[in-house]
Amino acid sequence: MSKVVMMNHPLIQHKLTLIRDKNTGSKDFRQLVKEVSMLMGYEVTRDLALEEVEIETPVVKTKSKVISGKKLGIVPILRAGLGMVDGILELVPAAKVGHVGLYRDPETLKPVEYYSKFPADIEERDFIVVDPMLATGGSAVAAIDVLKKKGATSIKLVNLVACPEGIEEVERCHPDVDIYVASIDEKLNDHGYIVPGLGDAGDRLYGTK
């Protein structure tokens, strides 16, 4: 069963309130999403394996820890997921970035992949799939499907705002994927928006309508 990790660090909650506010413009919105993503990235990478290496300080030879084991991959779901990449990359600059683009088939209403590109060594990486909103869960499930089909075995999902419907869908389809969120909101409305939510994350990031 997926683990759902709620990140209620005061800084994350404070910045999320500013992100939700409809009076926050695109420039601040982008900056805040980046900052919250970085803070969430700190927690998401908490279980990275460490190994001891020998180094020399200006004073003495010593053993000290560095991150070992599998390398990281960050996968934004286009387009809004892009807003979360830079914050995590600042923490883990060696991570590679894959991309998944999905559109909704107008007849089946199911997400269809129109673009994907991943690092070559996909089996050897731990992946962090990012999307600010976990609404129906359709896109997240489809993006994780694509990654798994290409060989990924270790995947975490990171969303700023989720709702119970989306969490249930990811848990049902991908019980091995842990979900990290800054908020679990009340519900989805009839237009597919999370309530209270923050509106359309892509439009607010990029100033479109």
Q: How far is the CB of 204 from ligand URA (least distance, A)?
A: 8
Which of 24, 45, 86, 104 is flagged as catalytic? 104
Residue nearer to ligand URA on the CB measure, 95 or 143: 143
CA pair distance 124, 153, nearest whole angstrom:
8
Does residue 40 contact residue 7 with C-beta atoms inside 8 Å? Answer: yes
**What is the spatial distance between Cα 82 and Cα 115, in angstroms, rounded to a whole number?**
14
Known catalytic residue: 46? no
208 is catalytic: no
| Closer Cβ to ligand URA, 164 or 192, answer by number | 192
Minimum CB separation of residue 139 from ligand URA in Å reads 8
Q: Is 135 annotated as a binding residue?
A: yes
155, containing H or E segment: strand 154-162
What is the rounded distance in angstroms from the CA atom of residue 56 to the CA atom of residue 125? Answer: 30
Contacting positions for ligand URA (CB under 6 A): 80, 133, 135, 192-194, 197, 200-202
Cα distances (Å, whole numbers) of residue 84 to 36, 47, 110? 8, 20, 24
Please write down the long-range contacts of 93-96, taking CB distance under 8 Å and 24 or more positions apart.
Answer: 95/71, 95/128, 96/71, 96/72, 96/125
Judged by beta carbon, residue 119 or residue 202, the one nearer ligand URA is: 202
Q: How far apart, in whole angstroms, are the C-alpha atoms of residue 69 and residue 124? A: 9
Given 24, 45, 86, 203, which residue is catalytic? 203
CB of 73 or CB of 166, closer to ligand URA? 166
Is 20 a known active-site residue? no
Q: Is 179 annotated as a binding residue?
A: no
Smallest distance, Å, CB 188 to ligand URA?
A: 7
The minimum distance between CB 41 and ligand URA, in angstroms, equals 20
Q: Which amino acid is at 103?
A: Y
Query: Could you list the active site residues?
Result: 104, 108, 200, 203
Binding residues for uracil: 194, 199-201
Binding residues for 5-phospho-alpha-D-ribose 1-diphosphate: 79, 104, 131-139, 200
